[in-house]
Amino acid sequence: MTDPTAPSAFPGGPGLFRLDPAVAHLNHGSYGAVPLPVQEAQEALRAQAHADPDAFFNGVSERLAAARGRIAARLGADPDGLSFISNATEGANLALDAIPLAEGDEILVTDHGYGTVVEAAARRAKVTTVALDPRLPDEDAVREAVLAGVTPRTRVAVLDHVSSPTARLIAGPRLLADLADRGITTVVDGAHTPGMLAEPIAAGADFWFGNLHKWGYAPSGSGILAVAPAHRARVRSLSPSWEDHRGFPLSVEYRATFDYTGWLAAPEGLDLLERLGADRVRAHNSALAGYGADLLARIPGMTPLPHTPGLALRSLLLPPGVAGTREAATALREELAAKLRIRVLVWPWPGGGGLRVCGQVYNRPEEYERLAAALPAYLR
């Protein structure tokens, strides 16, 4: 029976999605899920493209600018400093290509960084990796650890805004200000912040990128890159564009016969969030993730990690020896999906990995209860 103190279900939440009701989808943070109204908006745009391709593609630049303006208004950003992108990895490559680097320069990353974003940095310069213990107690401890990793050759810092595995704030305002004072260019991976944070763009970052298709309810492959004014003239598309002469942001967005419908429908996702009540959704999702984490913390050997209040995702360390490698973490994740029909993120860590749960308007307390009841049998 559901705990009477459990958060209430979000009215109408499950009905907004086409998710399989037999599966407990507790991993919204990895891929998101597209609500039905946004799916319908994208399908209408696809119908337009199929009905008259010439009209659609000849006018797409202006439509992108209009959609970008709607996104900027929702995110509290300058539309001239934003560009649509496909995902965080693309954002990292665009940002790093725009930063002049000399022989011997170094890029600072952390061991919480997303793999392909870290790899983008490693392709361009020597990387210094800061180890962040998942059990660091607060934002100040994270800040001190990052600053301790700065060397005289550090020119760029690539940091998570909110870390994916450990679900905590890393690129906070004080840390970004301290790095700026040292003359270090900051590149912030905000994959999780649009839709989940009321102020999703990291203030003070030179470059910031985020996914709209996670917490912003946009179609898959919808992201945004924000660039400070001093860097915009150096941002170039990763491949030549017929709009290169117009400069950032359109030169980055325009991709000939690309499927633009996800980007053009992306504002519908943020509009839906506002209609549902953004603050109400965020409070519900955070409370639900916290409820699930509290249940899991009662399992012997599970250790809750410090978390940033208000986030819709929470992480715990698994018992020592469980999911210590990428292969072991993947195997446990897939076993839980196949045998329990529960989707969670299991992430590897030396000596023992971790497990992350998310909260979304389609989730119900009993899904977390089912996971907590069954998980101990898989931790031996």
Tokens 């491949």 -> residue = 239
pLDDT tens digits for 269-304? 999 999 999 999 999 999 999 999 999 999 999 999
Provide the pLDDT for residue 241.
86
Weakly modelled stretches of the chain, pLDDT under 70: 1-2
Q: Distance (Å, rounded) from C-alpha 259 to C-alpha 93?
A: 21
Other Cβ atoms within 10 Å of 214 Cβ, number: 28
Provide the pLDDT for residue 4.
74
Provide the pLDDT for residue 377.
96
How far lies 123's CA from each of 93, 98, 188, 332, 368, in Å? 10, 14, 17, 31, 40
Secondary structure in 3-state letters for 214-230: CCCCCCCCCEEEEECHH
Other Cβ atoms within 10 Å of 184 Cβ, number: 17
Tokens 């800061």 -> residue = 130
pLDDT tens digits for 295-334? 999 999 999 999 899 999 999 999 999 999 999 999 999 9
Provide the pLDDT for residue 3.
76
Provide the pLDDT for residue 2.
60
Q: Is 319 left (phi over 0), alpha (psi -120 to 50) or beta?
A: beta
* Distant-in-sequence contacts of 170-174, Cβ < 8 A, 24+ apart: 170/110, 170/112, 170/132, 170/142, 170/146, 171/202, 171/205, 172/139, 172/142, 172/143, 173/202, 173/203, 173/204, 174/139, 174/140, 174/143
Provide the pLDDT for residue 210.
96
Q: Distance (Å, rounded) from C-alpha 164 to C-alpha 150?
A: 22
Query: Does residue 371 contact residue 296 with C-beta atoms inside 8 Å?
Result: yes
How far lies 60's CA from each of 69, 71, 238, 242, in Å? 14, 16, 19, 13
Tokens of 29: 């943070």
Whether the pTM exceeds 0.85: the reply is yes
Provide the pLDDT for residue 329.
97
Query: Does residue 182 contact residue 108 with C-beta atoms inside 8 Å?
Result: no
How far lies 193's CA from each of 123, 202, 212, 323, 339, in Å? 26, 9, 9, 27, 32
The residue length of the chain stands at 380
pLDDT tens digits for 185-216? 999 999 999 999 999 999 999 999 999 999 99
* Distant-in-sequence contacts of 123-131, Cβ < 8 A, 24+ apart: 124/96, 124/97, 125/101, 125/155, 125/156, 126/153, 128/154
